[in-house]
Chain A
């Protein structure tokens, strides 16, 4: 019981909530969060680039092929997003598997404890 309480307070604090999810839900939810993060970061970098080069951009805005630039930006964004989503898929799948393994022995201990309680109840 002491070990179980200690696990709940330390490693289990992170592992137990993860193990409550289905794998696809946990990984999917975190991939969505990654996509949002990458989108915001990309927006910030793009905004900063536009701000730093505002004079040049304003001077040449009429000569620019906006469609082509938009296409290039979108493909760059898609590549970065794809890489990050792939990395985040690997990381969160690994984390889910580790959490499941970690919680397994805790669940076994819980089962044994429940059996002990049942046994003592039946004696009474």
Chain B
């Protein structure tokens, strides 16, 4: 444990020292992964799917606010879908506008979850998202996760039905739109995930904020259990087939990742908890102080104490 804490302290020192470089690099990596994943899954517009273009856009994103990645990603998705079908692109644009207007404007602080959620689905670890959001954000971040889920299932629908969308035959535009919308809406899997994520985020957040010992551990464990139960119940209620082993495995992975997150963000020593009282001009404070687990990183400085070199012939 001490070794891990030492590594954490070293990482903190490194991040503090090179934060000006590390933050843009992280944004670059996130943007690049997002664009490459979109290009791999959609990739209908060949010019846009060029990795060099993705790298250039990610470079631009490195120096812009992280929420701009969402804007770029939405634009790329719409352009790819435009090549597939005009109606598909129009539906995607309208969906993005609606998501922004009625959900994302309430959860702009955690809007980056809109990117992380589809990426987590692609990596087969979607259950990580609600537990982590409950730990680091607020209940409104469930809206961002819901938007991310909607976007992922929109893309899944488009890729799964690409031949039907690309060759609609003699179907009028209105019928194409209607069949696409009914296809997207009729898939209740997205709804199961949205309900599960919303319940889990709220439960984890509430427990994490409680003034009890080991609140974060309890929040992670309860969140995991709630996630499994909600997933199964929502699946049964909406007639969606849920693979129990994959849910259990996903939740197990989520617990591991949440514990890593907890180690970096909230490692405290409950055995040394103190209860203090004090006052200022306006309030009396009854404070529970839990000390952070810390190990001071050794700062080794090697100082050479040696005589100046003397040339051989001088010695003689």
Contact = CB atoms under 8 A, between A and B. Distances in A.
Given A44-B94, A52-B174, A55-B174, A37 B101 contact: yes
B231 to A, nearest CB: 26
B105 A37 contact: yes
Q: Do most interface residues of chain A lie in helix, strand or loop, or is the interface mixed?
A: helix
B178 A52 contact: yes
Contact of A41 (B97, B172, B174, B181): B97
Contacts, number: 36
Given A44-B94, A44-B97, A91-B140, A37 B174 contact: no
Contact of A53 (B101, B105, B174): B174
A88 B105 CA distance: 10
B92 to A, nearest CB: 12
Interface string A46-77: 00100111110000000000000000000000
Contacts of B97: 40-41, 44
A16 interface: no
Interface size class of A (residues with CB under 8 A): 10 to 19
Given A44-B94, A48-B94, A91-B140, A54 B102 contact: no
Q: Do most interface residues of chain B lie in helix, strand or loop, or is the interface mixed?
A: helix
Interface string B123-152: 000000000000000001000000000000
Interface of B: 94, 97-98, 101-102, 105-106, 140, 172, 174, 177-178, 181
Given A41-B98, A88-B106, 8 more contacts: A34-B105, A37-B102, A37-B105, A41-B101, A41-B102, A51-B177, A53-B174, A53-B178
29 contacts: A33-B105, A34-B105, A37-B102, A37-B105, A38-B101, A38-B102, A40-B97, A40-B101, A41-B97, A41-B101, A41-B102, A44-B94, A44-B97, A44-B98, A48-B177, A48-B181, A52-B174, A52-B177, A52-B178, A52-B181, A53-B174, A53-B178, A54-B174, A55-B172, A55-B174, A84-B102, A87-B106, A88-B106, A91-B140
